[in-house]
Every structure is written in structure tokens, then in C-alpha cells.
Amino acid sequence: MKNILLAVVGLSPQVITETLFAIHQQRRRVDAVHVITTRQGKEKINADLLSPRDGRYYQYLKEYNINPASIDFGFDNVHTIRNHNGIEIDDITDEEENEWLLKKCMELTFRFTNDQNTS
């Protein structure tokens, strides 16, 4: 069974490593991380967490002796909320943007749970 962490993240991407830490403390395995965010959130995640040189995600893996290949998490796993023209939104400020967020959450949830080998 493949365990996927699906998280909605704003401008505080450290919640991803904090959540991974809490899950690993429970001796549970995470095989993949997927994140739903805005354009600004994506930029912050890419710069703060996923920078190969000094990203906090890679620092976390190194600190806890976790093989980076054991968790599928990279730039392709960061999913942005887009408007009806396909443009990434900067922030969620109204009901319509909240609906776009919900749509993205449901889309990915259905995609991941459609595979009987994931949880």
C-alpha cells in the first residue's frame, strides 16, 4: 500500500516537514507528498523546501537519515490552484477562488484514491 500525504499549504511550507516528522514519529511511512497551493505558495515551497542545495525538506531528510528516494516529493508534486483561464492564482480571497481550491482538492483526492494500492 502506497501512503500519500496530500496537504493544502499557504505561505508556511514548514508545515510539510512538521507533518512528515509527526508521521515518522508514529512509525508510519509516507511514500509520496503532494501539495496544493497558490502561485505564491509554490514559489515559497520551491525556494524554501525543495531547493536541492539548502531546501529544508532535504535538510530534514538528512537530519533523520531518510533516503530521499524513499519519498516521492519534488517540483512536479506541487499542484497550483488555477482560475478558469488556467492561470495560477496568487491568493484565495473570495468564494470563487475557494471553489477552485475545492475542485483541485477533489480532483487529486479522486485521482489518488482511484488506485486501490494507495491510502
DSSP character at residue 48: I
3-class DSSP assignment, residue 5: strand
Of the pLDDT bands very low, low, confident and very high (cuts 50, 70, 90), residue 117 is confident
In whole angstroms, give the CA distance from residue 34 to residue 17.
Answer: 12
Q: pTM above 0.75?
A: yes
Given a contact cutoff of 8 angstroms between Cβ atoms, the answer to whether 117 and 1 are in contact is: yes
Residue-level pLDDT at 119: 66
